[in-house]
Amino acid sequence: MSGENTFSILEKIFQPKNRKEIKGYTIKYGFILEQEEVIDEVLVSYFKAPKSYTTEDMCEINSHGGTIICQKILEICLKNGAELAEPGEFTKRAFLNGRIDLLQAESVIDVIHAKSEREAKTGIQQLEGKLSKKIKEIKQDILDIMVNLEVAIDYPEYDVEEVTEQQIKNMLEIVEEKLEKLKDSFENGKIIKEGIRTAIIGKPNAGKSSLLNTILKEERAIVTEYEGTTRDTIEEFVTINGIPLKLIDTAGIRQAKDEVEKIGIAKAREIAEKADLVIAILDSTKELSQEDLEILSLIQNKKAIILLNKTDLNPILKKEDPRLLQASKHILKVSVLKEIGIEALYEKITELFQLNEIYLDNEIIITNVRHKNLIEKAIEKVKKTKMVIEEKVPSDIIAIPIKEILEELGKITGETVSEDIINEIFAKFCLGK
Q: How far is the CB of 224 from ligand GDP (least distance, A)?
A: 22
Q: Does 204 bind ligand GDP (CB under 6 A)?
A: yes
Among 26, 63, 209, 373, the residue binding ligand GDP under the rule CB under 6 A is 209
Binding mask 290-309 for ligand GDP (x = CB under 6 A): -------------------x
Concatenate the DSSP letters of all residues of 143-196 into one string: HHHHHHHHHHHH-TTSS-HHHHHHHHHHHHHHHHHHHHHHHHHHHHHHHHHH-E
Q: How far is the CB of 248 from ligand GDP (least distance, A)?
A: 15
Q: How far is the CB of 231 from ligand GDP (least distance, A)?
A: 22
Among 93, 130, 310, 348, the residue binding ligand GDP under the rule CB under 6 A is 310
Buried b (16+ CB within 10 A) or exposed e, 201-238: bbbeebbbbbbbebbbebeebeeeeeebeeeebbbbbb
Among 115, 130, 139, 208, the residue binding ligand GDP under the rule CB under 6 A is 208
Q: Report the residue number, 166 or 289, with the smaller CB distance to ligand GDP.
A: 289
Q: CB neighbours of 298 closer than 8 A, spacing ≥ 6?
A: 201, 265, 268, 269, 272, 278, 280
Q: How far is the CB of 203 from ligand GDP (least distance, A)?
A: 7
Q: Return d(Cα 378, Cα 275) in angstroms, integer.
A: 30
Residues comprising the chain, all counted: 433
Question: Which residues within the stretch 216-275 sit at the binding site for ligand GDP (CB under 6 A)?
Answer: 253, 257
Q: What is the helix (H) or strand (E) element at residue 34, kind and residue range?
A: strand 26-34
Tell me the CA distances in angstroms from 11 to 5, 218, 221, 238, one per residue in order.
10, 53, 48, 48
Q: Return d(Cα 332, Cα 354) in angstroms, integer.
A: 18
Q: How far is the CB of 361 from ligand GDP (least distance, A)?
A: 35
Task: State yes or no: cis peptide before 50, omega within 30 of 0.
Answer: yes
Q: Does 206 bind ligand GDP (CB under 6 A)?
A: yes
Q: Does 388 bind ligand GDP (CB under 6 A)?
A: no
Contacts of 120-125 spanning 24+ positions with Cβ under 8 A: 122/189, 122/192, 122/360, 122/365, 122/367, 123/367, 125/364, 125/365
User: Residue 2 in contact with residue 57, Cβ under 8 Å?
Assistant: yes
Q: Report the residue number, 92 or 208, with the smaller CB distance to ligand GDP.
A: 208
Q: Return d(Cα 97, Cα 318) in angstroms, integer.
A: 65
Q: Does 202 bind ligand GDP (CB under 6 A)?
A: yes
Q: Which of 226, 243, 266 is nearest to 343 (CA)?
A: 243
Q: Does 289 bind ligand GDP (CB under 6 A)?
A: no
Among 88, 123, 207, 244, the residue binding ligand GDP under the rule CB under 6 A is 207
- First-to-last alpha carbon distance for the chain, in angstroms, is 11
Q: CB neighbours of 394 closer than 8 A, spacing ≥ 6?
A: 153
Q: Does 336 bind ligand GDP (CB under 6 A)?
A: yes
Q: Which stretch binds ligand GDP (CB under 6 A): 183-191, 235-243, 332-340, 366-374?
A: 332-340
Q: Report the residue number, 205 or 326, with the smaller CB distance to ligand GDP.
A: 205
Q: Which stretch binds ligand GDP (CB under 6 A): 4-12, 204-212, 231-239, 397-405?
A: 204-212
Among 312, 321, 380, 404, the residue binding ligand GDP under the rule CB under 6 A is 312
Q: What is the helix (H) or strand (E) element at residue 400, kind and residue range?
A: helix 395-413
Q: Does 316 bind ligand GDP (CB under 6 A)?
A: no
Q: How far is the CB of 338 from ligand GDP (least distance, A)?
A: 6
Q: How far is the CB of 329 from ligand GDP (least distance, A)?
A: 22
- How many chain residues bind ligand GDP (CB under 6 A)? 17
Q: Which residues bind ligand GDP (CB under 6 A)?
A: 202, 204-210, 253, 257, 309-310, 312-313, 335-337
